[in-house]
Amino acid sequence: MKKLFFFLSLFSCIYFFANAQSFLNISSGISYDINNASKSFYHVPVSVQWKPSSNPRGAFFFELDEDIPFTTKSTGNAYTLNPFLPQEVTLQESIRGYIFAASIGFRVYLHKDKKLNSLYLNILPFGISTQSFKVNYKNYDDKNYEILNPDVNLKRTGVVVSMSAVYNFHNNLMLMLHLQSPLIADKGDYPLSYRFIAPLQFSIGYNFYYNKRK
């Protein structure tokens, strides 16, 4: 909720008070993790791009990404010494991986047609990202059972790089295919069943232009 408020505040500030900016873009869609082989994380990404310069070519921009997670299901085995209980049970494990990223980058125009639809490449060589994993075992009786090799919660902040292909059409609409690297951060030496997420996002968005060149 706080992050939603942050996004809305940011959007409002930029839209109403920053006269020199070229555009603000907000987009959303679906995201699929390509870094975890055994289990994959799906998200609903919400991205905000702000391009402050009015120069249509070669301008840098800022991007904020918040990925709202779907729950990823897995299983874990738990064991007990209690002779009155089943000695082994399988528990349903759920993991939610939250992602927030703030990046800076530049865009490279690739193509523009007669209807002013355009295709360009966003390159974001530097970003700071936080990935937070919340692990839960459903119906886990922690008084009687011990989970073997349990997954645990993890929260790390580190550096990411990302890249996206963007297609602008119908003046203000855009389609974006966005790939972000996994977090470059220390995961610790305890083995976990999951790795840092590398989201591949497909999203559709809207460009709010201001200070448009004629």
Partner 1 sequence: MKKLIKNIFLILLLLNFTSCVKRNFYPDADDPGLSRFTSYGFNVVTEYINGVSYINPFSATRGNSLPFLRKISTNSAFDTLSLSWQIEVNGTQSPTYYFDGICILIPVSKTFNQNDFLALSGQKFDSTKSAIQLNFGYIPDEFPGIANVYFVKIYTNSNDSIRTYTISGLFNGNIGSNTVITDGRFDFQISSVDLNF
Binding footprint of partner 1 on the chain (CB under 8 A): 79-81, 83, 87, 142, 146-150, 152-153, 189-191
| Cβ proximity to partner 1, 150 vs 158, nearer residue | 150
Least CB distance from residue 102 to partner 1, whole Å? 30
Nearest to partner 1 of 1, 152 (CB atom): 152
Nearer to partner 1, 19 or 38 (CB): 38
The nearest distance, CB 89 to partner 1, in angstroms, is 12
- Specify the residue, 113 or 142, whose C-beta has the smaller distance to partner 1: 142
CB 37, min distance to partner 1, A? 19
CB atoms within 10 A of CB 138: 11
Min separation Cβ 155 and partner 1, Å: 14
The least CB distance from residue 196 to partner 1, in Å, is: 19
Question: Between residues 9 and 87, which has the closer beta carbon with respect to partner 1?
Answer: 87
CA atoms within 13 A on the CB side of 84: 1
